[in-house]
C-alpha cells in the first residue's frame, strides 16, 4: 500500500489543523513546555544531581556498563524518585510536540512559507519525536526495575530512540529559527528598499 502525502493542506475547518494554527494553543503549550521543563529539571537535580550523570547521561548510555554506573551514582532513593515521577515525562512529550507543530503551522501560514507537502512532513516530525520519547521512557522504567541486571538490547534501543528524538527536536527548532531569520532578512531588505526609494 502506497502512502501518499496530501496535495494540499486539509481544509481550514479541519479541527486538527485549526487547532495547531490557533495562537492560544501556541501560547499555552509554550507555557506548558516551560513549566514541565522546569519541573523535570528540578526532579533530575533532586534525584541524580543532574549533568552528565543525570537523566541525560542515561539517555546516551548505549551500554549496560555505562547505564549501570550512572544509576549506581543516583543511589536507591534517587532511582526510586525518577521511577515515581516518570509520569511527568509522559506528559511532557505531548506538550513539546504540539508546541513545535503549532509553531511550524502557525508561522508557516502567517508568513506563507513552505509548500503543503513539506509542511505536512515537518509537522509530523515533532510527534514522531514524542513517540520515540515514550519508547525511551518506557524502556528506562523497565531498566530501573531490572537494575542491577540490565539488558544490553534495551539499553541500546533506549539510547538510539533518545538520540533520534533529539535529532528530530533539534531539526524542528532549526526550521523554526530559519522561519524567523528568513522573515527578519526579508523585513530588513524591504526597509532598505523603502529608504533607497525616498
| pLDDT band (50, 70, 90) for residue 6 | low
pTM (2 d.p.): 0.85
* CA–CA distance, 78 with 49 (Å, rounded to integer): 9
46, 59, 126 from 96: Cα distances, Å? 23, 18, 8
48, 51, 119 from 45: Cα distances, Å? 5, 8, 37
Give the residue-averaged pLDDT of 106-128: 89
Q: Is residue 10 over pLDDT 70? A: no
pLDDT tens for 71-115 read 999 999 999 999 999 999 999 999 999 999 999 999 988 888 888
pLDDT of residue 172: 96
Domain boundaries, given as residue ranges, for the chain: 15-173
* CA–CA distance, 146 with 144 (Å, rounded to integer): 5
* CA–CA distance, 54 with 45 (Å, rounded to integer): 8
Residue with cell 529608504: 195
pLDDT tens for 27-64 read 999 999 999 999 999 999 998 887 778 899 999 999 99
Cβ atoms 61, 155 nearer than 8 A: yes
- Alpha helix positions (H), the chain: 15-21, 23-48, 55-59, 64-84, 86-110, 116-146, 152-197
Closest residue by Cα to residue 118 from 178, 71, 56, 162: 178
Amino acid at each position: 500500500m502506497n502512502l501518499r502525502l496530501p496535495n494540499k493542506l486539509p481544509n481550514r475547518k479541519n479541527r486538527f489543523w485549526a487547532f495547531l494554527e490557533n495562537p492560544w494553543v501556541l501560547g499555552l503549550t509554550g507555557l506548558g513546555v516551560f513549566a514541565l521543563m522546569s519541573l523535570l529539571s528540578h526532579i533530575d537535580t533532586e534525584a541524580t544531581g543532574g549533568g552528565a550523570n543525570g537523566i541525560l547521561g542515561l539517555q546516551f548510555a548505549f551500554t549496560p556498563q555505562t547505564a549501570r554506573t550512572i544509576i549506581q551514582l543516583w543511589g536507591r532513593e534517587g532511582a526510586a524518585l525518577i521511577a515515581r515521577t516518570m509520569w511527568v515525562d509522559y506528559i511532557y512529550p505531548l506538550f513539546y510536540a504540539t508546541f513545535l507543530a503549532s509553531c511550524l503551522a502557525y508561522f508557516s501560514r502567517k508568513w506563507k512559507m513552505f509548500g503543503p507537502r513539506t509542511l505536512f512532513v515537518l509537522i509530523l516530525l515533532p510527534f514522531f519525536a514524542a513517540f520515540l520519547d515514550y519508547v525511551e521512557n518506557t524502556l528506562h522504567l523497565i531498566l530501573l526495575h531490572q537494575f542491577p541486571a540490565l539488558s544490553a538490547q534495551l539499553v541500546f534501543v533506549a539510547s538510539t530512540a533518545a538520540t533520534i528524538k533529539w535529532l528530530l527536536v533539534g531539526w524542528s527548532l532549526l526550521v523554526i529559527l530559519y522561519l524567523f531569520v528568513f522573515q527578519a532578512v526579508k523585513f530588513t531588505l524591504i526597509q532598505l528598499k523603502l529608504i533607497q526609494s525616498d
